[in-house]
């Protein structure tokens, strides 16, 4: 049986709730041609068959072939659709005429978890992330995941192992303080529940990639309960706290413990609720002072890559007063908060610690 429907999590959940069938069923996506979902016929005892994402195509000889992208329990419809789109583009390219089903037997294998992370960091999914995101996530891999799991056989890692990894990172077992290789530089690795949660959230797409590439059979992070990451509703609670914060920033600036640029950046973060990175990397083109707002294009903020929508941050009068002298005569690509090092973004690591 086959039907056409947009493949979404909700529709796939509905399919799971349907009675088991005595033959395979295919649902073809209305958004991407030749991409679909296969539900295998019921197994003995009336157990529903597995759900897998597939693409249908014709190979170099014109023979119809079907290729399985991965299990629906391991990757989301959006991830599978993105993978399918990339495969179909390669299949349709007359210079390549890629045949994924024929090449599947030659797929790389990953013996250890370290090998799996190495392969993941060459994938399209990894390379499509912002450079700053890749740098942070590479640190999570090197500092937390590899010390705990690097030598383990990737296929043998279970959900219980990942639950234990979460507890180990949360409880500080991966904490370290070591030389960075730079003069007087140190690498300080912290633990805690926030780091543990973010690390395990990264581990899931690593394993998902392994499933997609046929390196491993299951994703041990599926179904993990990591709790809520919380929200960033307010920076400070009331006028008294704002006054105390601004007095502290002014005192640090007067004592030359922080630069004027760093002080301005800290004030803007407190007044707008923007992320530290958003203020540090703020450029002239992001400012619409007449409309009292900062605007980041979809590709310039994290959720925009998924939603395709810009991010807008309102500017109160106090923030406008800080920004006005900084943007006078500024070029669209010029940094608003300028570092002493020309062309570089300002670093707030030391200033952030001083303010904390």
Please answer whether residues 29 and 3 qualify as being in contact, where contact means their C-beta atoms are separated by less than 8 angstroms.
Answer: no
User: 67 pairs with which residues across the strands?
Assistant: 55
Q: Please report the pLDDT score of residue 239 as a whole number.
A: 57
Of 65, 106, 100, 72, nearest to 86 by C-alpha is 100
Task: Label residue 253 by pLDDT band (50, 70, 90).
Answer: confident
Helix (H) or strand (E) segment spanning residue 306: helix 304-307
Distance of CA 265 to the CA centre of its chain: 25
Q: Whole-angstrom Cα distance, residue 205 to residue 257?
A: 41
Phi then psi for 67, rounded to 5 degrees? -125, 135
Average pLDDT over residues 135-154: 92
Q: Which bin fits 301, alpha (ψ -120 to 50), beta or left (φ > 0)?
A: beta
Q: DSSP class of residue 291? A: G
pTM to 2 decimal places: 0.43
Output 334-343 pairs: Cβ under 8 A, ≥24 positions apart. 334/283, 334/284, 335/281, 335/282, 335/283, 336/282, 336/283, 336/284, 336/286, 336/287, 337/261, 337/264, 337/265, 337/268, 337/279, 337/280, 337/282, 338/261, 339/261, 340/259
Q: How many residues does the chain have?
A: 356
Percent of residues, the chain, with pLDDT higher than 90: 22
Domain boundaries, the chain: 2-106, 113-212, 239-355
Q: Whole-angstrom Cα distance, residue 336 to residue 251?
A: 23
> Residue 345 above 70 pLDDT?
no
Q: Whole-angstrom Cα distance, residue 302 to residue 308?
A: 10
Q: pLDDT tens-digit profile of 190-245?
A: 888 888 999 999 999 999 888 877 788 888 988 887 765 544 444 454 556 667 77
Q: Please report the pLDDT score of residue 351 as a whole number.
A: 53
User: 315 pairs with which residues across the strands?
Assistant: none
C-alpha triplet 272, 278, 284: angle, nearest 5°:
95
């Amino acid at each position: 049986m086959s039907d056409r429907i947009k493949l979404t999590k909700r529709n796939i959940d509905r399919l799971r709730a349907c009675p088991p069938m005595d033959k395979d069923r295919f649902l073809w996506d209305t958004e991407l041609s030749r991409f679909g979902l296969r539900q295998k016929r019921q197994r003995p005892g009336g157990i529903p068959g597995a759900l897998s994402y597939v693409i249908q195509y014709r190979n170099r000889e014109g023979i119809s072939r079907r290729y399985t992208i991965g299990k629906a329990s391991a990757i989301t419809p959006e991830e599978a659709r993105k993978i399918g789109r990339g495969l179909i583009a390669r299949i349709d390219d007359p210079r390549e005429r890629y045949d994924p089903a024929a090449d599947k037997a030659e797929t790389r294998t990953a013996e250890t978890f370290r090998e799996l992370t190495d392969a993941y960091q060459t994938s399209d999914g990894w390379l499509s992330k912002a450079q700053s995101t890749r740098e942070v996530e590479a640190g999570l891999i090197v500092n937390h995941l590899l010390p705990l799991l690097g030598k383990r056989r990737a296929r043998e890692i279970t959900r219980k192992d990942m639950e234990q990894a979460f507890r180990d990172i949360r409880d500080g077992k991966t904490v370290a303080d070591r030389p960075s290789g730079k003069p007087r530089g140190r690498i300080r690795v912290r633990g805690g529940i926030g780091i543990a949660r973010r690390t395990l959230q990264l581990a899931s797409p690593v394993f998902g990639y392994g499933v997609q590439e046929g390196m491993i059979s299951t994703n041990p992070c599926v179904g993990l309960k990591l709790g809520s990451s919380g929200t960033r509703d307010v920076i400070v609670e009331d006028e008294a706290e704002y006054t105390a914060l601004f007095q502290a920033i002014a005192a640090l600036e007067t004592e030359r413990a922080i630069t004027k640029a760093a002080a301005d950046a800290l004030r803007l973060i407190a007044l707008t609720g923007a992320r530290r990175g958003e203020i540090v990397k703020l450029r002239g083109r992001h400012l619409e002072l007449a409309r009292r707002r900062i605007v980041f294009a979809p590709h310039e903020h994290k959720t925009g890559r998924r939603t395709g929508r810009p991010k807008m941050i309102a500017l109160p009068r106090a923030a406008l007063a800080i920004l006005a002298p900084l943007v006078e005569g500024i070029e669209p690509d010029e940094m608003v908060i300028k570092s002493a090092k020309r062309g570089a973004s300002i670093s707030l690591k030391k200033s952030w610690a001083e303010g904390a």
